[in-house]
Structure 1
């Protein structure tokens, strides 16, 4: 669509997006494919409502701080497209810079405002506002969050009747996705008569979005994903099994420490006086390379550096990493896909750690199979559990990256995955898991499935513990059209 023909920014919306915005039902649920513009469209509705109704408040709650702030940024772009001047922008954190987000907000000249918060019970409780729950099925605890926010949206005496917009891709029929599935089942699949809380449901598969004009090559996308189950759930909006957050925010907080750092004095890599262990998650273009450095201090592992290398050639990465590897006692390296080439070079230079083959060099080549993920990510979780034996920096990017990793259940099978974002693919989380493996004195080859109470025996930092279950304006029109 040519921008010269646009008379209102809402004309940027594709038909299925326009239908969503035009639906003024009080309770509205959108089950949308990824990359179909659900946050983009919902931001348009919130900004339009704030524009035409003075002193209106909308609150956006998302599974993570990053997602909440990205949704708020879409609202800012829509406000600019509507030529609405913002009276104020604020970000409030719990205890100063880099601590957990309490809220971000934009305020309009007419007194309306839009807030963005992480979707936790303590952050949503007490607000009286129209509500956007984005990626609701992926909240840490959707039921607890819903219970916390429900009183404020059902009390008409607190600022009038409130609207609720629940938008998400499916996340199974049980676990965190259960409440979303129930809403769709009760209101769309098997409607129940006489319900006072009726939800207007919109389902947008990637096929529907493309049919309505979304410029995506479905065949190329499906081939690139190469995951039939993920395709069915993430893009065709089918409700499959369930997932859990590997590291909830509360658990991450127990490991955050001022003694841990994202960057460090290069002098720590000179000589072999310190017991340094590295985890390297290799990336080249879509994802960064992350090198996580741990120092063993007594029985605690303290983060000294979280090095992120973006869009850097392999020779240049080698130059940056070489002296770090030379100083380390052991290194676990992501020997998967494009990482194989550099892994071979590292082994040639520093030797391979492969005791089963009587090789006792420095580099352990780690291929990311499902079985290997079941080794390193439960051990990562263990490191954060009481007594916490790892120290990580107080840093927003590190916290968000760790929180994004999920345990995915598919029938009786399970694995560990994280969504791709502009920041990467939980690359810091993977690098930390590898660094912890490098710090362990005993390599475990088998872990029980979730729910087992079998004891894992063996020496090392985490050996000999029971695993059990792991989880009990107009210039902005171009940007808007690109975002759509």
Structure 2
């Protein structure tokens, strides 16, 4: 049986297995494999500074030096800046010299690009073909014919358009290569990789982590070039230095181990959400129809009370009475949903969201009615956090008047998200939170996005399976319920010490004693 690796993800990713390094080999095994893969479309997701672009320059030099009958063609390099372009062309020139291929000097050419002229680097071969470094403007590829390399693809602002132009070249047998470190899970570069692995795209995917590269001799090559003596201890020290220099472990995984982070786009990855969605699909929904909203408040209250008895009471009755519970809520009057999320704190400190109550287009008084119905029946209730933005402030104020300091009226803001979202995400990472297995609920969490470096709710709306508009509603309700479960709660209640009959007997005894004592005091007063 395999034992669980208790090391950090970064430590677990580092391997000490090496192939038999050969000083005389120019290319390392992973670089050779990249060149030998003749797929029309291929992707390299890589660690930083592993030399895949250098190997690509080798391939470009060999292909461009061939005649057309032997498979030669132009090669276009699209980088993200001028320095990368010059570096690639220099590498091509170096390889041409190493292979003794007839090639001219590196030239500079000017391409007219919209309202400005762009300087490009180009090197011509005796075959009549050239390697040219272009800017990332998609229009530069229009009308061209040849292989295309898009370097640091995940960092191109217009990757979709560049790729669209490049793929048109494959109609005549040319090839497209994408090379990059990752730049977040929601980046198109990562999406192409995931679609390819799912069989939805035809890209050949190469993964070259820092560990993979070192296993194939990367650090040994660095030692060879810099005239240093290699040792495993020195290699471990070198790797540790690289990882230490990165800001976070998540950054290290992305930069060196091909694990895209959620920093750009969705904050809590879908894989985390689906892993947490293991409970029964207890999500009940009330739709406030036009007929319901037109009823007098007294009749609406009767209808709502009946609905609660039929749909929510059983869910509340099933809650364990010996465990403490909290409640979170995200408010909406119309358009979006109001969602109530109770949270059960298990004995092992794991949190569960046993059910959700969703209200659509429901008047304020009936939302208040639902809130009180749930809150009054929560076993060992230990905190309530309510969304107090906009119209939600009415409901939050009424609840605070009824339940006192137990209620926190939350003004959701950038500062609030910045302070509290990291611990909420950690609950998913550490398997601390479980919730109903419901597709709409899972999708609601995609509304939590990294916006200017802070996890916040974006402005986009989604549609539920039944067509209702959603805006991360259940995600916020669960978020607030979870936070409430993590905090100390002040709760004020009336507790009866003895039974009513005993209270009456105690009161009568006290009255007699008081009368007797007063009589004694009066007697003493008469004697003095």
Answer whether TM exceeds 0.5 for this pair: no
Structure of greater Rg = 2
Question: Greater relative contact order: 1 or 2 (C-alpha under 8 angstroms, separation 6 or more)?
Answer: 1
Greater fraction helix: 2
